[in-house]
Structure 1
């Protein structure tokens, strides 16, 4: 048996070749092809994944624009999210579907980041600007939900814990704090941006929360997003693949298979060395202090390589250190 991790679910399958007639990832075989709702993959394309014995799960995922990583030694396969069909629109998840008609600041944070201390300030902005048709939605990148919950005890804004990393994958988030602005029609008003709501760690990140929150108020009240960019930054193929190895590593760490987890974590770091959401975010599951020496060694590694730790858009931020 193999464990399949896909679409936020975990299930057991007999192998990577799925018998004919069995639905795959929510798709069903019809006479004219594989269909899910009104969407269909025609038979002439589907044949690339079909064999005499069944349908190759990994090849089928690729037909859907989804990457997959299998570790047969550990008996697990993970399937990633579909590539974004339109980078100018916000991928929907959880509370976003109910916030159409409202401007949203999508705030990515984690308990392993000092940005956890910004949550009360984000909550204050949520309450202050709510009357203008605005909402904060916070997304914790903690792999252990319990680590995030104590910081969410007093918030009233919609809050989600992205324990399997799927939302970070959808929004191509590589570090926290990262904020995305979404307009009333679900369009990207400002893409992934390093943004703070307080100056608690300004000496480290060089960012002005005063400028950032003033710009946010202008956008909410006056409609000025302050940037010509209206699309999410697209991930590379290696970045997408790294997230799958990171998801596998997290699952293996939780199952107390540390050696295998470290192997997939190392592969993720090789593919996307700059992705701190993976490399730092998995430290707690691996028994490593995310505020300790390992994190500062990682910072030094990236700085020596010329990789920016914080990646703000340049128009209303001060220059961030590299």
Structure 2
């Protein structure tokens, strides 16, 4: 099959290739998915740079990618949940980095999969798994509910835009930081936009003089502002700043979870949740997709199409 791959760690795209790789094996409890779309996440190129090597082993050559939307075309033993032709999505991170989703086919454990939401197209569906599960896990950890004032850093990004929508669905007032060009988009999601950068803390205090009760940090580097605007008894969590744990917050890491992904797909089909897709690249242009992701200024998700 055709796939993107790299044969050694690299901080840039120097080792990244597109071409023929062996077809994936499909083991017990796994299904074979024909990839229709794959979501690009910053972790994909960070893994390629060796950023997770201390905790996750890589077996080269590595096919990158953890998000997928596709069609079931085969199954290993003990997979009664799915049949050929089923349209599915998954956050397909495995214990070893080797066989990813930036390929024509990928083998995925059945427990990672959910039915694809019919309200989303293929590209949107592929952008939901990791971002959606991360946002859901963060808001569950924060116990966001009615009466909360939720601050989301990076409200226009992949994780942040989902966190905003989930916060609104739970009855919270949501404030979201974003660049000025994304303020209208943040408003459409249901949040009150605030420009990041110099003066951010003062602007947040003006908007929420009593403080915010929950903070979802989707960008990192915001701890000083968080501690300055957090109300007494407030909760905070970050996906990008482990230091929050030393200040009463939670550092969030997300694991594959088909049941939670099914919950998110249901919210999409109810019209509560959508996924913004900023750019779509053909799979052979994975290097360009990585470069776009590295800018850190993407609205919503970047998607690859085989």
Structure-2-length-normalised TM-score = 0.31
**Bigger proportion of residues as strand:** 2
Structure with higher RCO (Cα < 8 A, 6+ apart):
2
**Bigger proportion of residues as helix:** 1
Larger Cα Rg: Structure 1 or Structure 2? 1
Structure-1-length-normalised TM-score = 0.30
